[in-house]
Structure 1
Amino acid sequence: MNSNKIKRIFNKLKTIIDTEITLMDESGYIIESTDNEKIGNYDNNFKNVDLRKNLCQIGDYTYYFFNFVDGKKNVFSIKGKSEETKKLVEIIGIFLNADFNDVSQSELLRNLLINGIEDGDLEHLNKKFYIKPQTTMRALVIEVKENVMKELENLICHIYPNELYTKISNNLFCFVEKCSKDNDQYFIQIYDAIYSELFYEPKIGVGTVVDNIKDLSTSYKKAVKSIKLGKLFFQDRNIYYCKDFGLPTLINNMDIKSLEELYKDMNYNNIDEILSDSELVTTAIKFFQNNLNISVTAKQLFIHRNTLIYRLNKILKISGYDLRVFEDSINFKVAMFIHNYIK
């Protein structure tokens, strides 16, 4: 467990306990305290504290030591020496020690993905679960409906019992893929397995490849962002890659008023007419997916080449954009993205 989590626990305790409470390291240096003037100083009573005991009382304070992952001890103190204070300190101490010692692989991984990881936790992760820090990997985030999550967990556990994965929330699940930079197999296999076994089409965000487990949080966050943007800009897909979101990211970072003005300048009334026609929209999307190749697009749409040319000419006549011309196709795609984003 990292120091950030210790501080979060401590801050929650401060809101519950209506007395002075202080957190310090094993040298007596005060990390946090409800008395702000004490932060950054040393506890004057600490030289009299018996380090061999978990709990001791000195002056007006009760002290409790709890183990940290690297073998060192942290200390918290509460002002007071009554039996009630002592019992409260012991209860908090039991909770902290249990939380540090019994954390599961899934909990550690989830914390790593959401909050990042520090060297102490990294060493603990390596020792307890035999995970090498220097490993090429990436995060695959799987989004499903809440009622499918339990089935998804069971399926992944059955297919990949020795891999790293964890439930993030009621509809987000993360699978850690050990991979090379050109390996695109796992997420396709996972998608196919979910589709065939659960009869469900998940959304999968593919994070960037990293060379160290410390950077896995970055890969995870990019995968989550890919799903968010993918559902807005690529509604015909279920698997999203970070590398495809250059233009959508730019649009996402613009304010709505600027987007609306840009869309209006792009002959939006006529483009709206096209985007309300499912046949023309499908034609445009397939044409873009096949790099403006008429023959391949016609084959995938199961239509004659001349039929495709007729539809492209219809789009040109309505919007003024000829999708066979690279610059026009880019502008039209931008207009489609803005339309989907605003709507």
Structure 2
Amino acid sequence: MISNQVLQTTIDGLRSIARVDLCVVDVDGKMIATTSEEMSNCLGAAQDFSRSPADSQEVQGYQFFKIFDEAQLEYILVIGGSGEDVYMIGKMVAFQIQSLLVAYKERFDKDNFIKNLLLDNLLLVDIYSRAKKLHIPTDVSRVALIIESENSRDSNVLELMRGSFGSNNKDFITAVDENNVIVVKELVEADAGKEIERAARTIDDFLEKEGIAGVRIAYGTIVKEIKEVSRSYKEAKMALDVGKIFFDERNIIAYNELGIGRLIYQLPIPLCKMFIKEIFGGKSPDDFDEETLTTINKFFENSLNVSETSRQLFIHRNTLVYRLDKLQKSTGLDLRVFEDAITFKIALMVVKYMKYMETFEY
């Protein structure tokens, strides 16, 4: 938990006060920090001492002390010299390092590790070293889910989730801001896609029963390395935003279901305005009357099938053809032609995206 540099700085400072050489060895007998290279002579004895039942011991002119992280042996402190004064100095140094362990454990516990992992605040070497220290597997399949509720800031979603789903030590439930709760879920089933969908449904049903309104859940793609968890989280964030724009009727959305909406979401607004102007001139789809908009949407829902669309709209086929002809005259686009239909569909989505982004400008 403590970096080697911190340990080295600590014992250097203590040596300048106590005037005795110090060495910190891990349980494998590897030297972590030392004030004198001559202390390497005691590595074998330190490893032997780590297997003994004693908490402190004097061997061949060196004092050995065990330093525990809770009940687990973490380091062996070796101090050069013998006598009561040296023993007292050793106890004080061991206590100082023990205090550092407690402080760093509090700082870098699993929750903080996951938060920093999600936010890309960790170097690659730190990700794996801390994961090992916290006994978190690094090569299992995981996915990040984001949970948002209608009144995120006023709800107790995080507490509810931890209370009901937090007992599973394979999954992590945390929050990096006051708006969303994040679940980093470990996947164990062969059909991971169904496992994620089932987990999302379970969370949604649970929060609904708890009276949490307007729950939306988004999740990223599956990653197989712990270093990739932040990517899944970023994908889930995008899925949440894009889902609000183009899939507002759905409360669970996956990143790989966003389709072309994912591309439109990344377009700059000036480019969107230029595109709409080229397609509709000075007009906007908002200028179309309700009848025209209903006809367009139903035509797309039925995959450009004239007969099925007219049946569902309860109008004659010729009436639908007349409406499509009228739309073609005003826009220059014939929705019965696939290429024109695609252009029109994209234009409608771009307008929807622009309207959504306008809400953040005020």
Aligned to 2:245: 232
TM-score when scaled to structure 1?
Answer: 0.62
1:248 aligns with 2:207: no
What amino acid maps onto 1:271 in structure 2? P
Q: Per the alignment, do residues 26 and 190 of structure 1 end up closer, same or farther by CA in structure 2, a change over 3 Å counting?
A: closer
Distance in structure 2 (CA, Å) of the matches to 1:330 and 1:177: 37
Of 275, 278, 287, the match for 1:265: 278
What amino acid maps onto 2:346 in structure 1? V
Of 317, 328, 331, the match for 2:326: 317
Gap regions ≥5 residues in structure 1: 4-23, 29-48, 59-64, 76-92
Contact 1:114 1:217 in 2 (8 A): yes
Q: Per the alignment, do residues 131 and 27 of structure 1 end up closer, same or farther by CA in structure 2, a change over 3 Å counting?
A: closer
Q: Per the alignment, do residues 322 and 216 of structure 1 end up closer, same or farther by CA in structure 2, a change over 3 Å counting?
A: same
Aligned to 1:327: 339
Q: Deviations over 1:282-316 (max 9, x none)?
A: 665566466556798899xxx55548996786466
Distance in structure 2 (CA, Å) of the matches to 1:335 and 1:153: 42
Distance in structure 2 (CA, Å) of the matches to 1:329 and 1:225: 26
Aligned to 2:112: 107
Aligned to 2:56: none
Contact 2:145 2:236 in 1 (8 A): yes
Greater Rg over alpha carbons, structure: 2
Deviation at 1:267, TM superposition (A): 1.5
Q: Per the alignment, do residues 255 and 316 of structure 1 end up closer, same or farther by CA in structure 2, a change over 3 Å counting?
A: farther
Contact 2:2 2:100 in 1 (8 A): no
1:25 aligns with 2:5: yes
Contact 1:206 1:241 in 2 (8 A): yes
Contact 1:136 1:209 in 2 (8 A): yes
Aligned to 1:19: none
Q: Per the alignment, do residues 320 and 100 of structure 1 end up closer, same or farther by CA in structure 2, a change over 3 Å counting?
A: same
Q: How does 1:198-217 map to 2 (within 5 A)?
A: 198-217=211-230
Q: Deviations over 1:107-157 (max 9, x none)?
A: 2211111126534443433453x4321111110111233344413531453
Aligned to 1:340: 352
Deviation at 1:265, TM superposition (A): 1.3
Distance in structure 1 (CA, Å) of the matches to 2:159 and 2:240: 19
Aligned to 2:174: 166
Distance in structure 2 (CA, Å) of the matches to 1:169 and 1:312: 52
RMSD over aligned CA atoms reads 4.4
Report percent identity of matched pairs.
27
TM-score when scaled to structure 2?
Answer: 0.59
Deviation at 1:187, TM superposition (A): 1.8
Aligned to 1:182: 193
Contact 1:151 1:198 in 2 (8 A): no
Distance in structure 2 (CA, Å) of the matches to 1:267 and 1:185: 43
Q: Per the alignment, do residues 54 and 203 of structure 1 end up closer, same or farther by CA in structure 2, a change over 3 Å counting?
A: farther
Of 2, 14, 30, the match for 1:55: 14
Q: May I ask how many residue pairs the two structures share in their alignment? A: 273
Contact 1:112 1:217 in 2 (8 A): yes
Gap regions ≥5 residues in structure 2: 18-22, 36-96, 356-362
Of 130, 139, 160, the match for 1:134: 139
Q: Per the alignment, do residues 295 and 315 of structure 1 end up closer, same or farther by CA in structure 2, a change over 3 Å counting?
A: closer
Distance in structure 1 (CA, Å) of the matches to 2:34 and 2:352: 52
SS at match of 2:156: helix
Contact 2:246 2:261 in 1 (8 A): yes
Aligned to 2:206: 193
SS at match of 2:249: coil
Contact 1:187 1:204 in 2 (8 A): yes
Deviation at 1:253, TM superposition (A): 3.8
Deviation at 1:27, TM superposition (A): 9.9
Contact 2:24 2:31 in 1 (8 A): no
SS at match of 1:139: strand
